[in-house]
């Protein structure tokens, strides 16, 4: 269809497009913005000036896109258009190459083949050199990974603790990190066998301590809270009980229990 058709020549697609656009209250500029088509192209579709769209392929694509945008059935619109459209011929056959063009193409093929051959030779050479260098160097010995073993006290590591209440009192003991509280009656004894550490908290001179066979007397002063702690390392370093001084009734004997601190009854 060439040029602008007369009113009698209209196939009805253009008026249907324009009516659908106006029914939606859209201007050509608004429709162009939404469809990404130029307003001149939309005006040509509504006027059925399909030749102004730049070819049959472009006209069909624009018509289908515009019909879909306006809510019309694109298949029905295309069915009304195709009987009046020009046939789309097959693409032109490729032109035969001339003698000079065939010579240039053959030269390019040979150059490409030569380049691929050179690249393959270089790659093989690099691989051979890399393999030779790898054989010259023995693989390094695997690194030794040091693992830290958990500290487990020997089965014979322990020391004895005996508490004797001089009156009714409450004490809190910590045996290898396990804390417990006890209410002791006068004359009652508590015995423990810690493997790493022992701690005790009390108030006033209420209990006597026997640690690792050493009589440490009665720690604390009237009405005052006190804390004592012992470790296996400290107790094992004390002289044997037979060689250690014996606590007197006046409480003059003392044994170091934690660094510079002393437990004095």
What is the pLDDT, as a whole number, of residue 212? 87
* Number of residues written out for the chain: 265
DSSP 239: P
pLDDT in tens, 133-173: 767 665 556 666 665 665 666 767 898 999 999 999 999 99
Q: What is the rounded CA–CA span in Å between residue 51 and residue 4?
A: 9
Backbone angles phi and psi of 162, in degrees to 5 = -130, 130
Q: How far is CA 190 from CA 54, 97, 156, 169, 231, in A?
A: 107, 112, 21, 13, 18
- Burial tier of 214 (Cβ tally within 10 Å: 0-12, 13-18, 19+): buried
Is the CB of residue 49 less than 8 Å from the CB of residue 41?
A: no
What is the pLDDT, as a whole number, of residue 6? 44
More confident residue, 212 or 183: 183
What is the pLDDT, as a whole number, of residue 105? 74
pLDDT in tens, 84-122: 876 665 655 666 666 766 777 777 777 778 888 898 888
pLDDT in tens, 208-238: 999 989 999 999 999 899 999 999 998 889 9
- Burial tier of 161 (Cβ tally within 10 Å: 0-12, 13-18, 19+): buried
Region label for 16, one of left (φ > 0), alpha (ψ between -120 and 50) or beta (otherwise)? alpha
List domains and CATH numbers for the chain: 7-84 (1.10.260.40), 161-259 (no CATH)
- Burial tier of 118 (Cβ tally within 10 Å: 0-12, 13-18, 19+): exposed
Mutual angle of helices 74-81 and 56-69, in 10-degree steps: 140
pLDDT in tens, 31-70: 999 999 999 999 999 999 998 888 899 999 999 999 999 9
pLDDT in tens, 195-204: 999 999 999 8
Is the CB of residue 66 less than 8 Å from the CB of residue 37?
A: yes
**In which band, very low, low, confident or very high, does the pLDDT at 3 lie, cut at 50, 70 and 90?**
very low
Q: Which two tokens stand for residue 114?
A: 């030569």
The predicted model gives 19-34 an average pLDDT of 95
């Amino acid at each position: 269809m060439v040029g602008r058709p007369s009113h009698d020549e209209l196939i009805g697609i253009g008026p249907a497009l324009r009516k659908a656009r106006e029914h939606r209250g859209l201007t050509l500029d608004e429709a162009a913005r939404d469809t990404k088509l130029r307003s001149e192209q939309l005006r040509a579709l509504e006027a059925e000036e399909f030749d102004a769209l730049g070819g049959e392929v472009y006209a069909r694509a624009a018509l289908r896109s515009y019909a879909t945008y306006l809510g019309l059935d694109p298949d029905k619109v295309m069915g009304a258009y195709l009987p009046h459209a020009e046939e789309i011929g097959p693409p032109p056959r490729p032109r035969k190459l001339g003698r000079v063009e065939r010579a240039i193409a053959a030269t390019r093929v040979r150059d490409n083949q030569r380049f691929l051959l050179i690249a393959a030779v270089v790659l093989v050479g690099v691989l051979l050199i890399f393999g030779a260098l790898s054989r010259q160097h023995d693989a390094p010995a695997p690194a030794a990974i040091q693992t830290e073993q958990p500290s487990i006290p020997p089965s014979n590591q322990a020391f004895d603790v005996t508490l004797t209440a001089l009156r009714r009192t409450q004490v809190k003991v910590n045996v290898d990190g396990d804390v417990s509280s006890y209410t002791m009656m006068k004359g009652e004894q508590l015995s423990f066998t810690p493997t790493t550490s022992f701690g005790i908290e009390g108030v006033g001179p209420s209990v006597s301590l026997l640690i690792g066979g050493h009589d440490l007397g009665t720690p604390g002063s009237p009405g005052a809270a006190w804390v004592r702690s012992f470790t296996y390392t400290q107790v094992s370093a004390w002289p044997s009980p037979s060689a250690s001084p014996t606590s007197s009734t006046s409480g003059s004997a003392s044994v170091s229990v934690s660094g510079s601190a002393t437990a004095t009854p």
